[in-house]
Amino acid sequence: MMEMTSAFTLNVRLDNIAVVTIDVPGEKMNTLKAEFASQVRAILKQIRDNKALRGVVFISAKPDNFIAGADINMIGSCRSAQEAETLARQGQQIMAEIHALPIPVIAAIHGACLGGGLEMALACHNRICTDDAKTVLGLPEVQLGLLPGSGGTQRLPRLIGVSTALDMILTGKQLRAKQALKVGLVDEVVPLSILLEAAVELAKKESSSHRSLPVRERVLAGPLGRALLFRMASKKTAQKTQGNYPATERILEVIETGLAQGSSSGYDAEARAFGELAMTPQSQALRHIFFANTNVKKDPGSDAKPGPLNSVGILGGGLMGGGIAYVTACKGGLPVRIKDITAKGINHALKYSWDQLETKVRRRHIKASERDKQLALISGSTDYRGFAHRDLVIEAVFEDLALKQQMVAEVEQNCAPHTIFASNTSSLPISDIAAKAARPEQVIGLHFFSPVEKMPLVEVIPHATTSEQTIATTVKLAKKQGKTPIVVRDKAGFYVNRILAPYINEAIRLLTEGERVEAIDAALVKFGFPVGPIQLLDEVGIDTGTKIIPVLEAAYGERFSAPANVVASILNDDRKGRKNGRGFYLYGAKGRKSKKQVDPAIYTLIGAQGQARLTATQIAERCVMLMLNEAARCFDEKVVRSARDGDIGAVFGIGFPPFLGGPFRYMDSLGAGEVVAVLQRLSTQYGSRFTPCEQLLLMAERGERFWNSRETDLNS
């Protein structure tokens, strides 16, 4: 059997500093795998045996990452908590051996240093990193429903203090070089060109002077301060997680154990908690979403080769147009030309990008020169000057069919024969927009969600005659913009809005039955959504959010009907939501203190006064079950290409609870039979809109799952 190329190579320099290079063969990222343990052990033995060595430097050979984390597949292959615990203990053991070397050990970090990678750097005696934008340090395990299992929960608080460490481990946030230096996570920040030399110099310093923790952190480390800190942290965390994420409670517990009872009890508690968390359904669902997302990001959307993508045009400088211009230029690095009928529109869009970038300069994420460079990619005009060779034009004008058809005709006249026309519409069929086009194969839907710079999802919507190349090019653009694209069918509401509409409709119906606004929103936040349905409607804009309902009603009948006249009476009262300061909630003047409150006048408008009759569970069930039933229909009608796309679309498009893994994974975990039974019970209680769809009835009968029918489970 051939010896696999080791991921770790040891070179001893003439000045007796050992340089260990990390380079996992054949992979873009360095990730830690269980089989590396023996390789690392062999290297550590060589280091211990060579008495002439003065120090050790760990450095990566990859151009943009140190170690991006541990390989998650290792956890997936564990069959019991015991196996996962053993995995953590192995990791802890290796880190302890690195830490125990008798000579200075330095981690020289450039690029991502996350999870197991940061745990390894923490086991070294000192850390140095580059001042590059690619350099980030963090422990993101909580996002996968886990905690750092190779000593991170014990080493980090001791290095940077307990409150800063809690913040990092509970949120999974990543620090940039300057922040890492400030909190004491790294000892030096240097340019990439001298990283190795600076690390070698650091290794030659006999004793490393450890910086003392700031006073605040020292107080918090004492027993009184600690008790207070953990009490506050656990309250704040419970508020955020609503008890849906078991990992956060365990993190608090394990860190506290280590501080109260000493590190060996801490390491023991860490490994045990890691093993147990790995088996929780929440962690399994979060890992499932992680793999599905990685999988979507690799999916080209089509077998055809994408066309050129050198420059982009945008029609319309409103909120959407401005947001799309920003992500295209500043994330995608592509030159953008905005056309609007007025100079005001163009200025609005340019200001949008300026504000986004200016915030980054203020926070010192980028230099002013970098801001100017990015801004220079965006230009505007009130005619089609500069559009002649655009490879793709995104239309973000008003939702009016005749206007959009006119835009297609103008682009066909003023752009190149190969130019793709992508419409950011949320309610109009793409086939209608392409109906009069000379080149319908180059017309496609590209539906962004608001606010564009924050929402990760886009729907790519080919109509019947869109070419494969057009699909491939549009998907490629979406990825350049930093988005997760899913390809969906050209049917009313596409996918995201279609499963969202019945959910919001039901929330409004609950209002008319006398439930209170805040009770409805709280019930769905408790279920796991980031915001409740009524607040969501306020955020998107009641006018925009309800525009889609008649379209869906016309296409699919009365299950999409909103409760009679409620929406109309709210809109007639000049309520658009947050954008005009009044919706279901009232928004006070901007300031830290002003909290939004439910407007009591709402109950008069809808003619019902809140007499809460239902429990939070009953409220959530009604809204969510309608969403699940609609998602199953979308699967059946091939609106989404797979359960994977359906789960990603719902989690990233509307914040469906990630710990449930998306609507399809959630239905699989309940079982189709159970979903059908709940829907039947609700349809008896509340009416025919809850009638389970054909797809679910068939699946219940045959005992099928979404994730096995028509596709294989990802990596698990």
Structure tokens at 77: 């292959």
Q: How many residues make up the chain in this entry?
A: 716
Nearest CA to 541 out of 610, 587, 480, 597 is that of 587
DSSP string, 432-497: HHTTT-S-GGGEEEEEE-SSTTT--EEEEEE-TT--HHHHHHHHHHHHHTT-EEEEB-SSTTTTHH
Q: One-letter amino acid identity for 289?
A: I
Structure tokens at 443: 């017309």
Nearest CA to 314 out of 279, 284, 352 is that of 352
Nearest CA to 455 out of 500, 421, 489 is that of 500
Q: One-letter amino acid identity for 702?
A: R
Q: What's 707's DSSP letter?
A: T
DSSP string, 174-221: EEEHHHHHHHTS-SEEE-GGGHHHHHHHHHHSSSPPPPPPPHHHHHHH
Phi-psi region at 636: left, alpha or beta (left = phi > 0; alpha = psi -120 to 50): alpha
Q: What's 577's DSSP letter?
A: B
Query: Helix (H, G, I), strand (E, B), or coil: what is residue 108?
Result: strand
Structure tokens at 701: 């009968």
496-512 and 643-654 helices, crossing angle to 10°: 50
Neighbours of 247 (CB within 10 A): 26
Distance CA 12, CA 181 (A): 29
> Exposed, middle or buried: residue 679 (CB in 10 Å: 0-12, 13-18, 19+)?
buried
List the catalytic residues.
459
Indicate the helix (H) or strand (E) that contains 250: helix 246-261
Distance CA 389, CA 182 (A): 47
